[in-house]
Amino acid sequence: MNLNLTTATRIGLNLSAMLGIAALMKLGGNLFIPLILAVLMASILYPGARFLHNYMRVPWFFSCVTVLLAAVVSFLVVFVAFAVAIPRTIEGLPKTEEEWREQYKKIQTNLSAVIPYKLDHALHPDPDQSNVYKYAKDYFTSSKISDAIQSIVAAAGGRLWQAILIMFITLFLLLEGQMLADKVRAIFGPSRETQSRVTTALAEMATAIRTYLIWRTIVNIALAVVLGAVYNAAGLKYWYLWALLVAVLSYVPYLGTIAAGIPPTLDAMLFVDPTMALLIGCFYVGVVTFEGYILVPWVMGRSMDLNATTVLLACLFWEEIWGMSGLFLAMPIMAAIKAICMQVDGWQGWGELMGSGPAKPLVLLETDPEKARLDAIAAAGMNGDATVVMDSGHDKGGSPNMGDPKSDAY
């Protein structure tokens, strides 16, 4: 049935569909987030399982279980690292009244060297006259820190069932991944061209996600090691915690990198001296600039070829939909969406829009009705015919056609 929808109507329907999908994903976050995390993990672990099965002759079930257990152990290592670093950080806080006073005076002196103008109003030289000193001392008491740790542990325990669910979904995806991929291809019909496009889209999605997550993890570990060593040499008080933050927050493009650079700079300014804070800030900017503009594009190639505007908008959108989980999932999701767009007729322009390469001219498909109409107009013009060629499907019962001698418009 030909509805003859106007352009405005089509745009309105598309926007309504997008808003409906966004609302569905936001409401179904508890379902979609574990599923997407399981798909990401399965795409990373699948090559390892194939290697064990094909070259080590390990049965497929045990290959999948082995790589999954290796991933679980890796996550436990990160969890234990934070579990050790946070108590060490708490133990480093001042305990006696004299230690609190000395720490406050050192911070006040360092900040006075950077911001000498009217700093005494905010940070009085005498701790007894400073509201900031009283608030900080009260905030970092043992009871409040213990309450904060208990709330964090309770929140982590509440998510334990999701972690177990993700683990089982990942295992089933590994065991039945090939069968599910074949069934997805079968949904789109028997056409060889369509089957080829679906296969290519699935392969590009898996490759892009796998390449990004694996190399992102390797680069993050390298950043944590290098920056941790520099922070330790510079005398930062909590260098180990800042190194861990770099390794975790760098999964969030741009925003996470900026957030990971602020704490060590403040640490140096408050507890070392302003000059060291400036040096650490400059070194951090240099390292992340080299990592973002040289190292990452070199090791990842075009698998994550997304421009900065797309990345930032994706981070804002997925953070609004799924919160912190959306920030970490934004890049893999956008890589999958771009891979789909590049394989669907009429969507290639959106895929190119998300990329960072130069603009490409629109190329009409051989089967595109618009291309056929334009070719007919060009052929008529070469023959000296001024007739306007219209699609036979347009205006069948409507306005008269130009060139019809029986019409009033002739």
Residue-wise pLDDT for 361-381, tens only, equals 655 555 555 556 666 666 666
Question: By mean pLDDT, which of 63-72, 114-123, 335-344 is the weakest?
Answer: 114-123
Question: Diameter of the chain by CA atoms?
Answer: 103
Q: What's the chain's Rg over C-alpha atoms?
A: 29
Q: pTM to 2 decimals?
A: 0.70
Residues 6+ apart with CB under 8 A from 65: 171
Residue pointed to by tokens 């009260």: 138
When pLDDT is cut at 50, 70 and 90, the band that residue 119 belongs to is low
| pLDDT, average across residues 256-270 | 85
Give the model's pLDDT for residue 400. Answer: 46
Residues 6+ apart with CB under 8 A from 127: 100, 101, 104, 105, 133
Residue-wise pLDDT for 172-184, tens only, equals 999 888 888 888 8
| pLDDT, average across residues 224-249 | 88
C-beta atoms surrounding 37 within 10 Å? 21
| pLDDT, average across residues 99-105 | 78
Spatial separation of the C-alpha atoms in residues 51 and 258, rounded to whole Å: 38
* More confident position, 26 or 83: 26
Residue-wise pLDDT for 132-145, tens only, equals 777 777 776 666 66
| pLDDT, average across residues 179-196 | 80
Tokens of 183: 């069934």
Residue-wise pLDDT for 284-319, tens only, equals 999 888 887 777 767 665 556 777 788 888 888 888
DSSP classification of residue 236 = -
Residue-wise pLDDT for 53-86, tens only, equals 999 889 999 999 999 999 999 888 888 888 777 7
When pLDDT is cut at 50, 70 and 90, the band that residue 171 belongs to is very high
Give the model's pLDDT for residue 300. Answer: 63
Spatial separation of the C-alpha atoms in residues 188 and 197, rounded to whole Å: 10
Give the model's pLDDT for residue 397. Answer: 44
Burial class (CB in 10 A: 0-12, 13-18, 19+), 123: buried
Q: What mean pLDDT is reported for the chain? A: 78
Burial class (CB in 10 A: 0-12, 13-18, 19+), 386: exposed
343: phi then psi, degrees, rounded to nearest 5: -110, 0
Tokens of 305: 């070829």
Residues 6+ apart with CB under 8 A from 237: 92, 267, 271
Contact 245, 270 (CB under 8 A): no
253: phi then psi, degrees, rounded to nearest 5: -65, 145
Q: Where are the beta strands (DSSP E) in 1-117?
A: none
